[in-house]
Amino acid sequence: MTNHRPKSKLSLIFILGLLTAIGPFSVDMYLPAFSGIAKGLNTSVDQVMLSLSSFFVGISAGQLLYGPLLERFGRKNPLYFGLSLYLVASVGCAMAGSVEVLIAGRFFQALGGCVGMVAARAMVRDLFEVKENAKIFSSLMLVVAVSPIIAPTAGGLITSVFGWRYVFVALVVVAIGVLVGIYWLLPESKKPDPSFSLMPRPILRNFASVFRHTQFTTFALTGAVAAAGLYAYVSGSPHVYMEVFQLTEGQFSWVFAVIAMGLIGSTQLNNLMLKKYSSEQIIGVGLSFQAAAGVGLVALSLLGLADFYSVTTLVFIFLCCQGFIFPNSSALSMAPFHTNAGNASALMGAIQMAIGAGASVLVSVFNDPTPLPMAGVMACCALSSLSIFHLGRNIIKHTATLKEVEQEEVDMIGTL
């Protein structure tokens, strides 16, 4: 545990929250501009949606890159590098003359911006006791969850007044503000380690050692697959609300914000629940309700009963559950690691984003004039996550039981 802690715990949580929110903010802010981008680049909304998929792919690949860098060079230097790349790529997106350039620009934007997500999770493990981690992640989620309220509304307003290119100009300004915050508010929580190898083989061994840990695998996959349902919603919601339900860009922004309020409320309610229940208990209940909401969305779509109010209500419930699942699964995934927190954070994030990108692509591939593609992927994610959670818990309990039996046998032999 390092002593490099700032005087204000609130300021630390705030800047870590901003770092975690860079990715979601970069997604949410340009969602209302999909139609404007399609018109401006003479392409279709479906093609513009591929820029969202490339963003998720960039975040997934980038997190694996930054894990070793955060171990070798400390936490702050990789942050400066990554956010500088994000700034350059954002300028490229603003100047894009074709959808192909935009897709490529979004990939590099994600490749740079994802450093904030990796570093923030690692620094939570660096700076706080394990027993505090779930509560800290809930506090970070408060900052992250504000993003879907502010970003789409701001993005819709900027698009309608100045045009879609200025959405990326605004992201440049946001990134500059975060860089200033890193310099003044964020302590260096881990000194550079010149002995940490950046050669491929040691890096792969480090990642493999993390992935072999049953607790990490169980809760990282549980959280990642559940979060993929959220990415399916983010990817499919512009089509469902603006094409199927015929909402305007401004109306969609408000709906997106109201739904996000459920996520904000649940992340803070999670802190209260942790006083009476364990993280595992909360995850189990949250996944059960999330699966029920996903199945409900599919049933309504198949029966032709999916309207604006029913879909919005079930999506609201679905995202509320995410506020209970994410903080607890993240805390339980990172708990076994202190000396290897950067790699654990990177691997957890890469798994989450890879699965999220896959969910986003599936929504695009199966796109039709109904909410069914979005609903179907959301339901599959929730049901799969629930299955992984129960299977993983059984494996952990079985492994713990075997170790207890082995220890008892050793003790008995020792008394002979």
Q: What is the pLDDT of residues 336-386, one digit of tens each?
A: 877 777 788 888 888 887 888 788 888 888 888 889 999 999 999 999 999
Model confidence at 413, pLDDT cuts 50, 70, 90, reads very low
Average pLDDT, the chain: 85
Nearest-CA neighbor of 19 among 133, 125, 141, 151?
141
Please count the other Cβ atoms lying within 10 Å of the Cβ belonging to residue 300: 18
391 to 215, 219, 284, 294, 385: CA distances (angstroms)? 12, 11, 12, 20, 10
Please count the other Cβ atoms lying within 10 Å of the Cβ belonging to residue 116: 26
Question: What average pLDDT does this structure show over 384-399?
Answer: 89
Determine the pLDDT at residue 5: 47
Burial class (CB in 10 A: 0-12, 13-18, 19+), 194: exposed
Determine the pLDDT at residue 407: 44
Determine the pLDDT at residue 401: 58
Lowest mean pLDDT among 66-80, 227-241, 251-265: 251-265
Do 220 and 207 touch, CB atoms closer than 8 A?
no
Q: What is the CATH number of domain 9-186+200-411?
A: 1.20.1250.20
- Token pair, residue 248, equals 């305007």
- Token pair, residue 408, equals 């008892």
Determine the pLDDT at residue 148: 62
Determine the pLDDT at residue 145: 66
Model confidence at 23, pLDDT cuts 50, 70, 90, reads confident
Residue with tokens 């929580």: 189
What are the φ/ψ torsions at residue 346 (nearest 5 degrees)? Answer: -65, -45
- Token pair, residue 181, equals 């915050």
Do 197 and 73 touch, CB atoms closer than 8 A?
no
Nearest-CA neighbor of 191 among 387, 3, 407, 380?
3
Lowest mean pLDDT among 42-51, 126-135, 177-186, 299-308: 126-135
**Most confident listed range (60-64, 76-80, 208-212):** 76-80
Crossing angle, helix 308-334 and helix 99-127, to 10 degrees? 50
Q: Is the pLDDT of residue 140 over 70?
A: yes
Determine the pLDDT at residue 376: 94
What are the φ/ψ torsions at residue 109 (nearest 5 degrees)? Answer: -60, -45
Q: Is the pLDDT of residue 409 over 70?
A: no
Model confidence at 185, pLDDT cuts 50, 70, 90, reads confident
Determine the pLDDT at residue 296: 96
Question: What average pLDDT does this structure show over 249-265?
Answer: 80
Do 99 and 47 touch, CB atoms closer than 8 A?
yes
| Chain length of the chain | 416
Determine the pLDDT at residue 83: 94
Q: Is the pLDDT of residue 4 over 50?
A: no
Nearest-CA neighbor of 178 among 147, 157, 209, 205?
147
Model confidence at 15, pLDDT cuts 50, 70, 90, reads confident
Model confidence at 251, pLDDT cuts 50, 70, 90, reads confident
Determine the pLDDT at residue 287: 96
Model confidence at 403, pLDDT cuts 50, 70, 90, reads low
How many Å apart are CA 408 and CA 17, to the nearest integer? 45
Burial class (CB in 10 A: 0-12, 13-18, 19+), 45: middle
Question: What average pLDDT does this structure show over 169-193?
Answer: 88
How many Å apart are CA 120 and CA 139, to the nearest integer? 12
Determine the pLDDT at residue 107: 95
Determine the pLDDT at residue 149: 67
- Each domain of the chain, given as residue ranges in start order, spans 9-186+200-411
Longest dimension (CA), the chain: 84
Nearest-CA neighbor of 113 among 63, 180, 184?
63
Model confidence at 400, pLDDT cuts 50, 70, 90, reads low
Residue type, 291: A
Q: What percent of the chain has pLDDT over 70?
A: 93
